[in-house]
Chains A and B, each alone.
Chain A
């Protein structure tokens, strides 16, 4: 039985205990839009619109990849990571808490217009799951696997498919950082041969497969495939709970911009990483959940006004993902806008004299249309 009480790593646990006493005192004047509850399991509707902070060691352990670039810059400037608790995330958390793990995995698709906070909702859910001790399979952006690939190798396992060593090794490295203790505890169930002299026996910890993938970059995509297969087969036993978090899932069923050496276009099925991920996203396994996000910003050959699941996934993707729970994410409500504006003021991010006035606030609300991304970009130079 794996221990999934509440903590992730002993290093992160040291940071958690320092949350309560000083924060209650320091946060009384700014209690309106902050909350000292840093455990996502305890977030309820009364925390809606408020920002909670994640200790920095936990950020490094849980999110080696996956946070948007502007949010990472914000963490570095403010020296703290604050995430807003919003209604779609709370909805997802209630579904996850009440889900029956004996049933096949339920698929959740987070969709919405550009810049409304889909990736941040996904990160909130990933934080909750890692706090609860689930095994988190987080793919930060599936679009990175279907475009701008410098090296495409022909796969040794299956002649028709193509390997992507660079992307696979980067993902394996980050997976190792976020899920270290599971890698020791999950054992392989089959013997895998990597080449003439290298093979992994049955019953070895999964960490060895990951090391193999990192050491021999040529077989990194196959290592990823092995990891996914093992985890999927063992999840129904109940020894650990699995969360598959994919950002930009519409990349798996669209077109790619990659070409083979004879200049013919590559379709997503021909890539090993995409093929294995599609098997992961099918609901033929139990003992966990699949949370995905649609994303137009990184997508290929899709118009910029497309945001609904049907437009972005296409017929093939929609049929493959078919019974799913759609979760729409909208722009900031007035209360959320107030709390975001107050946070920027308190952190001295809005430095312009006029930004502190009512006129400035009204202008920011009008210009951004309460869209979180636009507000962030407008507040940058101000």
Chain B
């Protein structure tokens, strides 16, 4: 019987697997010293099993996988992935229709690639500074605090998803809502960008408590 384990229990000598095809197609002469040492180490040490979320497909994107995982409910990855695909297709259709109807000089400004729109929208939604609750002398203060990259990405994705789930009409489908939100965020408009600005303003207002932070 296989017992599920939350944290990985591999021996520290196990190395991460390298999934991308390009790294194996480089001829020996082009590798630097470190890469040659790394290859020799891999020949000797055991390697961990690749997780099912990582794929060697040229079309896989770690950000999209992370976003799909966050959209997933009760482990239904099939549904989450199909919703993500439908969202990307919806963005592409809307942009292509706009592209074909636009006059010649405006055609270069319209971005049709859904991946570029997705990444740019996420980047636009990421806050620069966050707030954290610090209790001092019995009172809790909201203190402005720098955020790590992971935390910024997580907050951007979380805001997008909650915005779509809660503040829209009950009967609209998720791909439709999400594509609309992503296009608005790509153009720096929309409720998610507004939420980011509100957070920035709160942080600016609570500037006086910044010295409460000790890390």
Binding site for B on A (CB under 8 A): 73, 76-79, 348-349, 351-355, 357, 359-360, 363, 380-382
Closest residue on chain A to residue B101 by CB atoms: A79
Indicate whether A348 sits within 8 Å of B112 (C-beta atoms), given known contacts A76-B97, A77-B96, A380-B85. yes
B146 to chain A, nearest CB (A): 33
B108 to chain A, nearest CB (A): 13
Sample 13 A-B pairs with CB under 8 A, ordered by A number.
A77-B93, A77-B96, A78-B96, A78-B100, A349-B96, A351-B114, A380-B88, A381-B84, A381-B85, A381-B86, A381-B88, A381-B92, A382-B59
Decide: B115 and A351 in contact? CB cutoff 8 A: yes
From residue 141 to 177 of chain B, which have CB atoms closer than 8 A to chain A? none
A363 to B59, CA, bound (A): 9
When the two chains form the complex, which single residue of A79, A357, A360, A381 contacts B114, counting CB atoms closer than 8 Å?
A381
Q: Which residues of A contact B99 (CB under 8 A)?
A: 348
Decide: A354 and B59 in contact? CB cutoff 8 A: yes
Q: Which residues of B contact A353 (CB under 8 A)?
A: 113
When the two chains form the complex, which single residue of A348, A381, A382 contacts B96, counting CB atoms closer than 8 Å?
A348
Say yes or no for B57: interface residue by CB 8 A criterion: yes
A357 to B89, CA, bound (A): 20
Interface mask (B74-95 → A, CB under 8 Å = 1, otherwise 0): 0000000000111011001100
Say yes or no for B58: interface residue by CB 8 A criterion: yes
B197 to chain A, nearest CB (A): 30
Decide: A351 and B92 in contact? CB cutoff 8 A: yes
A355 to B88, CA, bound (A): 15
Q: Which residues of A contact B86 (CB under 8 A)?
A: 380-381
Total cross-chain contacts (CB, 8 A): 47
Q: Which residues of A contact B85 (CB under 8 A)?
A: 380-381
Size range of the chain B interface in the assembly: 10 to 19
Q: Which residues of B contact A355 (CB under 8 A)?
A: 59
Interface mask (B94-130 → A, CB under 8 Å = 1, otherwise 0): 0011011000000000001111000000000000000
Identify the 3 closest CB pairs spanning chains A and B, nearest first: A381-B88, A381-B85, A380-B89
Q: Which residues of A contact B58 (CB under 8 A)?
A: 354, 357, 359-360, 363
Closest residue on chain B to residue A362 by CB atoms: B58
B57, B59, B89, B99 interface centre (most CB from chain A within 10 Å):
B59
A198 to B192, CA, bound (A): 62
Indicate whether A352 sits within 8 Å of B113 (C-beta atoms), given known contacts A363-B58, A381-B85. yes
When the two chains form the complex, which single residue of B93, B112, B114 contacts A73, counting CB atoms closer than 8 Å?
B93
A351 to chain B, nearest CB (A): 4
Q: Which residues of A contact B115 (CB under 8 A)?
A: 351-352
Decide: B88 and A363 in contact? CB cutoff 8 A: no
Decide: A351 and B113 in contact? CB cutoff 8 A: yes
Q: Which residues of A contact B96 (CB under 8 A)?
A: 77-78, 348-349
Supply 11 further A-B pairs (C-beta < 8 A) apart from A349-B92, A359-B58. A77-B93, A348-B96, A348-B99, A348-B112, A349-B96, A352-B59, A354-B59, A380-B88, A381-B84, A381-B86, A381-B92
A360 to B115, CA, bound (A): 16
Closest residue on chain B to residue A354 by CB atoms: B58
When the two chains form the complex, which single residue of A77, A351, A359, A381 contacts B97, counting CB atoms closer than 8 Å?
A77
B92, B99, B114, B115 interface centre (most CB from chain A within 10 Å):
B92
A353 to B96, CA, bound (A): 16
Closest residue on chain A to residue B113 by CB atoms: A351
B113 to chain A, nearest CB (A): 4
Closest residue on chain B to residue A357 by CB atoms: B58
Q: Which residues of A contact B84 (CB under 8 A)?
A: 381
A79 to B113, CA, bound (A): 19
A76 to B21, CA, bound (A): 38
Q: Which residues of A contact B89 (CB under 8 A)?
A: 380-381
Closest residue on chain A to residue B84 by CB atoms: A381
B85 to chain A, nearest CB (A): 4
Q: Which residues of B contact A363 (CB under 8 A)?
A: 57-59
